[in-house]
């Protein structure tokens, strides 16, 4: 039981962070609940193998993993109904490094608010922004969560921010003065 | 957008520059109009984003649900890490120590597996339990791919042990993917194959101490085949025939470099 208490003190205290990431990744509250519960139980079973690793990025990596699996499964069901485009539109993960005009896509999909634009970003960009801006993780911690090099974190952050900024400034031209 | 320094402003604003670098860049920004505007825009976007995008908090109902689920969960490492009784041969007869955790797991699965049979090594119990868990819908595979160049690096990034990952589709064993699981308190890499309608899990973990000859067993309708290569222990499990597991074992052996085969 000491293990349970330690798990609660070191890992479960990050439940809000876990839930926030899950919500932004899978969007639907009920799905986020399931993803987080699954992730926390996996984390509990694996806690003995954490070996002193910082608990928050460690837990968030498990949450992310469960969330992406959830999206993949749902994508598969969706694809059966709607053809392959359904999955790609849902995940947007097919080519997070490809240079498609993100900002244009945001203008088409979002309802005008920055939150809606963030939600419309492909998951690979959305997750780095959520981890940086809402969870205040360092580049190194984000790299641990998404299992990618720090350089990838930096380039994804830069492109995600550029897209949001272009979207935002298009919506409020008076703020665009002198910005470019 | 002229100034080359502006590319590093995001690092400055994210607190990712070392203090001397940060101070130098601050001095530059103080004298550079481009960079000042760029920094204002960066800060404005961040502030607007944080105002607009909610940081969701875990609902109380979810907290309660998780608390109850943890209550029902056996304390995993407390049970599996308990050393075997001093008088028993290594790895045998201590299923009793783990059977509490195991029983809870299996009861939760509503699987009528008889636990605690003296001669069944605990590790093979774990393999059976893990395989049963994996057969639950949606749980079999963490990385799903028939491409070894996807599966192999995934293991490198997630597992303690980097197992041999080869697609034997030509021989009837199609690589389906991989996952991580736990046997005897060790993290095992599991390479998943499809063989006709059957799923075969190949558990691989590091175990330099034990010297275990190849052995085949049958438990609760599953065939298990255990063998070793170098300091890696292998255990293949499936509901397919034993001969198929032997064939897969031979293929895996041949795929290893010569000095690691035995």
The predicted structure's pLDDT at residue A74: 80
pLDDT tier, B39 (very low <50, low <70, confident <90, very high otherwise): very high
Partners of B199 in the beta sheet?
B194
Query: A interface mutation test: which of B42, B57, B62 has the most A CBs within 10 A?
Result: B62
Chain B residues inside the 8 Å CB shell of A154 = 10-11
Residue A102's pLDDT band (cuts 50, 70, 90): low
Q: How far is B62 from chain A (nearest CA, A)?
A: 6
Q: What is the mean pLDDT of chain A?
A: 79
From CA B176, how far away is CA B240, in angstroms rounded? 16
Give me the pLDDT at residue B72, please. Answer: 85
Provide the pLDDT for residue B116.
Answer: 28
Distance from CA of A51 to the nearest CA of B (A): 12
CATH 1.10.10.10 occupies which residues in chain A? 96-180
Q: Which of B66, B80, B160, B188 to mutate to test the interface with A (most CBs of A within 10 A)?
A: B66
Alpha helices for A27-176 (secondary structure H): 29-46, 55-82, 84-91, 102-109, 114-120, 123-129, 139-146, 150-171
Average pLDDT value for residue range B177-195: 87
- Residue B165, helix vs strand vs coil: coil
How is residue B151 written in tokens?
């599966």
CA distance B149 to B165: 9
How does DSSP classify residue A176?
G
Q: Give kind and range of the element (H or E) at residue A19.
A: helix A15-26
Chain B residues closer than 8 Å to A12 by CB: 66
Tens digit of pLDDT for each residue in B155-169?
888 888 888 899 999
Of the CATH numbers 3.20.20.70, 1.10.10.10, 1.25.40.10, 3.50.50.60, which one belongs to the domain with range A96-180?
A: 1.10.10.10
pLDDT band at A61 (very low <50, low <70, confident <90, very high): very high
Confidence of residue B29 (pLDDT cuts 50, 70, 90): very high
Band of residue A105 on the pLDDT scale cut at 50, 70, 90? low
**B24 compared with A82, residue with greater pLDDT:** B24
Cα–Cα distance measured from residue B150 to residue B165, given in angstroms and rounded to the nearest whole number: 10
Least confident of A87-96, A145-154, B51-60, B211-220: A87-96
If one compares B96 and A65, the residue with the highest pLDDT of the two is: A65
Domains of chain B: 4-52 (no CATH), 61-260 (3.30.200.100)
Taking an 8 Å cut-off on Cβ atoms, the answer to whether A37 and B76 are in contact is: no
Position A109 scores a pLDDT of: 63
Asked whether B139 and B133 are in contact (CB, 8 A), the reply is yes
Query: Selecting from 3.40.50.2300, 3.40.50.150, 1.10.1740.10, 3.40.1160.10, what CATH number does the domain A1-91 have?
Result: 1.10.1740.10
Residue of B nearest to A149 (CA): B157
B chain contacts of residue A15, beta-carbon cutoff 8 Å: 58, 62-63, 66
Span A113-132, pLDDT tens digits: 889 889 888 888 899 999 99
Question: What's residue A101's pLDDT?
Answer: 60
- DSSP, collapsed to helix, strand or coil, labels residue A21 as helix
Interface ipTM > 0.85: no
Q: Where are the alpha helices (DSSP H) in chain B?
A: 9-13, 19-31, 33-52, 60-72, 76-80, 95-109, 122-135, 148-158, 242-255
Letter string b/e over residues B197-224, b meaning 16 or more CB atoms within 10 A of that residue's CB: eebbbbbbbebeeeebeeeebebeebbb
Judged by CB atoms within 8 Å, which residues 54-113 of B form the interface with A? 54-59, 61-63, 65-66, 69-70, 73, 75-78, 81
Q: What is the pLDDT of residue B1?
A: 52
Q: What pLDDT, on the 0 to 100 scale, is given for residue B189? A: 92
Q: How far apart are CA B187 and CA B1, in angstroms?
A: 51
Greatest extent of chain A over all pairs of C-alpha atoms, in Å: 60
Q: Is B117 on the interface with A (CB under 8 A)?
A: no
Locate the chain B residue with the closest alpha carbon to A66: B142
| Rounded (10°) CA dihedral B111, B113, B115, B121 | -120
């Amino acid at each position: 039981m000491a293990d349970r208490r330690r798990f609660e003190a070191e890992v479960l205290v990050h439940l809000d962070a876990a839930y926030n990431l899950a919500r932004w990744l899978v969007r639907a509250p009920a799905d986020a609940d399931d993803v987080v519960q699954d992730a926390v139980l996996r984390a509990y079973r694996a806690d003995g193998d954490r070996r002193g690793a910082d608990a928050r990025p460690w837990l968030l990596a498990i949450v992310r993993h469960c969330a992406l699996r959830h999206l993949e499964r749902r994508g598969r069901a969706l694809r059966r109904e709607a053809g392959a485009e359904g999955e790609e539109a849902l995940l947007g993960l097919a080519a997070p490094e490809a240079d498609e005009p993100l900002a244009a896509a945001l203008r088409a999909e979002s309802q005008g608010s920055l939150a809606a634009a963030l939600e419309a970003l492909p998951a690979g960009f959305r997750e780095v922004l959520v981890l940086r801006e809402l969870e205040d993780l360092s580049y190194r911690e984000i790299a641990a969560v998404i299992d990618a090099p720090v350089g990838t974190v930096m380039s994804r952050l830069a492109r995600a921010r550029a897209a949001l900024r272009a979207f935002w400034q298009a919506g409020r031209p008076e703020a665009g003065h002198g910005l470019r | 957008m002229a100034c080359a320094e502006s590319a590093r402003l995001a690092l400055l604003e994210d607190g990712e520059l070392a203090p001397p670098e940060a101070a130098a860049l601050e001095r530059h920004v103080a004298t550079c109009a481009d960079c000042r505007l760029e920094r204002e825009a960066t800060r404005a976007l961040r502030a607007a984003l944080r105002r607009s995008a909610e940081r969701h908090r875990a609902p109380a109902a979810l907290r309660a649900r998780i608390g109850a689920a943890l209550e029902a969960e056996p304390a995993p490492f407390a049970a599996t890490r308990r050393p075997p009784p001093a008088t028993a041969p290594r790895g045998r007869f201590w299923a009793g120590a783990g059977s509490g955790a195991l029983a809870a797991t299996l009861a939760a699965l509503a699987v009528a597996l008889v636990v605690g049979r003296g001669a069944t090594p605990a590790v093979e119990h774990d393999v059976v339990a893990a395989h049963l868990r994996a057969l639950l819908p949606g749980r079999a595979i963490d990385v799903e791919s028939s491409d070894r160049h996807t599966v192999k690096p995934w293991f490198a990034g997630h597992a303690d042990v980097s197992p041999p990952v080869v697609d034997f589709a030509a021989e009837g064993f199609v690589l389906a993917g991989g996952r991580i699981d736990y046997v005897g308190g060790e993290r095992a890499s599991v390479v998943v194959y499809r063989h006709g309608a059957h799923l075969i899990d190949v558990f691989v973990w590091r175990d330099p101490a034990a010297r275990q000859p190849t052995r085949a067993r049958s438990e609760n309708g599953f065939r298990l085949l255990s063998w070793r290569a170098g300091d890696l222990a292998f255990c293949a499990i499936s509901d397919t025939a034993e001969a198929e597991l032997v064939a897969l074992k031979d293929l895996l052996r041949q795929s290893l470099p010569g000095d690691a085969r035995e």
